């Protein structure tokens, strides 16, 4: 999801529906997005998260911390909504560049298999974003944010279909008015006998600030193994509204055991 942070979750989350063994993972990624998000100037974001996770099939926990480079007037809102928004009072000029570590993101997911055959699954996820970023530079808002979401998964042979939604409560930074938002996703993943997978997702999120369009996006990704313990995910995305990025893409390397 975007919460479906489409790129940093979907491929691995739904690939996990094929097997339920305890695993520990470490991942590193890099993503670039650009767009004006309904404003008058583009904001370019380079986003490089490092994450650790533990998964036993029924429960999974994950912690991630990104390094950010942001060019333009937008503010980075966090991993589970990795979009920037022009707000009423931009803190940077259009040609200003800032960089540094972003907010710490924590996530826990409970997976419930709804039938004995594993055809239906339900994921319930809670997330918290802790304000470790420099809000004065727009690398975060300086406030903690919270979100909860539910995703229903239908496994059909080598396909997994998914849909879900959630709600995010944004903090209340001084001098800025951020809205709490609803978000949702729909998509599909195709698995191959060689152990690779590819997928397509549509993501929606309400605008976090007034005067900006809601975000609608399409993303696609490919995941494949370099070995039994190392996987690579590559992806691209495009915005379908002024509230989302014009385009973006990235890759992630995952080590698990």
Bigger pLDDT: 112 or 93?
A: 112
Structural tokens at position 61: 């926990």
CATH code for the domain defined by 6-256: 2.40.160.40
Residue, of 82 and 135, whose pLDDT is higher = 135
Six-digit token string for 159? 């396909």
Distances (CA, A) of 118 to 59, 105, 154, 167: 16, 30, 9, 27
Q: What is the per-residue pLDDT for 12? A: 44
CA distance to 48, 140, 167, 197, 213, per residue, from 207 (Å): 24, 16, 12, 31, 6
CA–CA dist 93, 191 (Å, integer) = 45
Listed by start position, the domains of the chain span: 6-256
- To which H or E segment does residue 75 belong? strand 75-76
CB 48 within 8 Å of CB 98: no
Task: Tell me what pLDDT residue 66 has.
Answer: 95
Neighbours of 180 (CB within 10 A): 13
Kindly tell me if the per-residue pLDDT of 14 is higher than 50: no
Between 195 and 113, the more confident residue is 113
Provide mean pLDDT across the span 110-132: 95
77 and 208 Cβ atoms separated by less than 8 Å: yes
List residues bridging with 105 in a β-sheet. Answer: 64, 129
Alpha helices by DSSP H, listed for the chain, are 6-15
Residue range 10-19: mean pLDDT, rounded:
43
pLDDT at 20: 52
């Amino acid at each position: 999801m975007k919460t479906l942070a489409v790129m940093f979750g979907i491929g691995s989350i739904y690939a996990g529906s094929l097997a339920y063994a305890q695993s520990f993972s470490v991942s590193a990624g890099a993503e670039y997005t650009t767009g004006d998000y309904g404003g008058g100037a583009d904001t370019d974001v380079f986003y490089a998260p490092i994450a650790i996770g533990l998964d036993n099939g029924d429960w999974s926990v994950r912690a991630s911390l990104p390094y950010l480079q942001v060019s333009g007037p937008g503010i980075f809102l966090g991993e589970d909504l990795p979009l920037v928004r022009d707000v009423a009072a931009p803190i940077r000029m259009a040609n200003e560049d800032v960089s540094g570590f972003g907010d710490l993101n924590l996530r826990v997911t409970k997976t419930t298999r709804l039938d004995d055959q594993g055809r239906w699954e339900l994921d319930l996820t809670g997330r918290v974003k802790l304000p470790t970023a420099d809000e004065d530079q727009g690398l975060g808002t300086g406030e903690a944010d919270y979100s909860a979401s539910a995703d229903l998964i239908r496994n059909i042979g080598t396909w997994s279909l998914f849909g879900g939604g959630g709600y995010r409560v944004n903090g209340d930074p001084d001098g800025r008015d951020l809205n709490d938002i609803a978000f949702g996703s729909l998509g599909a993943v195709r698995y191959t006998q060689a152990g690779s997978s590819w997928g397509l997702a549509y993501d929606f999120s309400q605008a976090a600030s007034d005067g900006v369009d809601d975000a609608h996006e399409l993303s696609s990704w490919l995941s494949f193994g370099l070995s039994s313990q190392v996987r690579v995910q590559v992806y691209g995305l495009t915005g379908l509204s002024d509230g989302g990025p014009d385009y973006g893409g990235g890759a992630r390397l995952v080590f698990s055991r």
